[in-house]
Structure 1
Amino acid sequence: MRSFVLFACAMLLWSAGLAPGSWPGQAGAQDRVERISFAPGRSSRTVHDTISGYEGIDYLVNVKAGQRLAATLRTDNPSSYLNIKARGSSAALFNGSVAGNLGDVIVPSSGDYVVEVYLMRNAARRGESANFSLTIEVTGGGSGGRQPDFADGLAGGPDFWEVANVPPGDRLNIRSQPSSQAVTVARVRNGTVLRNLGCRMNGQTRWCRVERRNGSAGGWAAGRFLVESGG
């Protein structure tokens, strides 16, 4: 009976594209490793690349305890995701297949962290590819980035936020729902002042409901791009 149960479980995992030893996001022999460094005075970097089949890419970045490590994946394949984890650990601090491809964590200890880009096993088995851009940002703890005020948690907070830390040449997406997969309803630049209508967590990402002073551009913005404003 025990052998039958084990066989049945293995068949279920295989049919779901999750064969033992090949879990989504688990580093494999075909993973490529690249070290991420930032230009002087910069706290973010964007890379463009392609993965195919079972190949994944592990981007290594050195982060200090208490700093915020954020990663945003834009991809043409909906079966490609990112994970964030400490180097050498199998436990993900952020799981993109669960929470979406906008990762945002406060690292618990200093050292190398991995931003892992991969294809889910079912897509990898079909030999699919993914063209993507990945923006990695490290802020706080003397990195030079301007930091959000998270002291108020999800309740209360300032009356107004100011948009900050958006990579040069880019804009912050305001979305219809608190999710990186939701429709973009507006895009705003660094320095834009937005009214704070409250924040909430979606998975491991903090989202804040915002609008312009005149009531336009209402929607949800990722909290890591918002700092307290004097109004």
Structure 2
Amino acid sequence: MTLGVIGNLGAGSVAAQERSVRVEFSRGQSSTVIRGTVRGYDGASYRINVRGGQRLAVTMNSSNSSSYFNILGPSGGEALFNGSISGDFADIIVPTSGDYVVQVYLMRNAARRNEQARFTLRIEVTGGRPVAPLPPDFADGLSGGPDFFEVAGISRGDALNIRTRPSAQSPIVTRVVNGEILRNGGCRMTGQTRWCRVSRPDGSNAGWAAGRFLIEASN
């Protein structure tokens, strides 16, 4: 295990010395499970080589609610996934080939108290067929868009599921029907699906919904 400072730990944390580990799958396997511990300002980084167009999925379970993970691309810079904003599950199509870094860290408040987090990471890489880039106007809409959405396009008698995570396999928070208004918390691509973080106008029932059933609210 080598020691080094890698990238930016993300919102609410500070740069610190980290354990840096190269992740390699066993022959014939596409995933691995890693168990570890972070304490205070000391984080852990896991490097994995991924080809452009492959799917990188990461799930973390932790004993400390103030611990999160980020994903950085080969060039570093801004995180492709920020766990303190998006939660403990990431599912992305990587844009370019290279080493991607999964960083596990404690938020500043917990790090200052020298708290500890025992965590389990599941890292999976699948696929391999490059995907076409999103049109600029569509890609720009992922982080912006209207303040409110209207649910539309749901079949008669059916409803749109709002889920705890941006995945069709995640638990359902609530269900909404055509015409209901939802607050827009930002959208992102998970695999080939556009998912949007939404909630009711009063902030309740927050979760993720499939973006193809959301249009800009008229009012």
Which bracket does the TM-score occupy, shorter chain normalised? Answer: 0.5 to 0.7
Counterpart for residue 127 of structure 2: 140
Instruction: Give the Cα–Cα distance (whole angstroms) in 2 for the partners of residues 222 and 92 of structure 1.
Output: 23
Q: Cα distance 1:98–1:85, how it changes in 2: closer, same or farther (>3 A)?
A: same
Match of 1:33 among 4, 16, 20: 20
Establish whether residue 121 from structure 1 lines up as the match of residue 69 from structure 2. no
Number of the residue aligned with 1:69 = 56
Shift of 1:29: 4.0
Cα distance in 2, alignment partners of residues 67 and 222 from structure 1: 23
Higher strand share: 2
> For the aligned residues, what is the CA RMSD?
3.6
DSSP 3-state at the match of 2:85:
helix
Question: What is the alpha-carbon distance in structure 2 between the residues aligned to residue 91 and residue 75 of structure 1?
Answer: 24
Identity rate, percent? 47
The CA distance in 1 between the partners of 2:47 and 2:82, in whole Å, is 16
Aligned length: 148
The aligned runs of 1:15-54 (5 Å cut-off) are 23-24=10-11, 28-54=15-41
How big is each residue's C-alpha offset from its partner over 1:113-144, in whole Å with a ceiling of 9 and x where there is no partner? 001111001110010000010000000017xx
Name the SS for the 1:137 alignment partner: strand
Deviations 1:12-54 (A, max 9, x none): xxxxxxxxx9754877341110010001110000010110000
Partner of 1:229: none
1:90 aligns with 2:77: yes
How much has 1:185 moved relative to structure 2?
5.8
- Say which SS state the counterpart of residue 41 (structure 2) adopts: coil
Q: How does 1:164-203 map to 2 (within 5 A)?
A: 177-180=162-165, 203=187
Which consecutive residues of structure 1, in runs of 5 or more, have no partner in the other structure? 1-20, 143-154, 157-175, 187-200, 209-219, 224-231
Residues 185-224 of structure 1 aligned to structure 2 (within 5 Å): 203-204=187-188, 206=190
- Name structure 2 gaps, 5 residues minimum: 1-7, 130-151, 154-160, 173-184, 195-206, 211-219
- After TM superposition, where is structure 1 displaced by more than 4 Å over at least 4 residues in a row? 205-208, 220-223
Q: Residues 180 and 75 of structure 1: is their aligned pair in 2 closer, same or farther, counting only changes over 3 Å?
A: farther
TM-score, with length taken from structure 1: 0.54
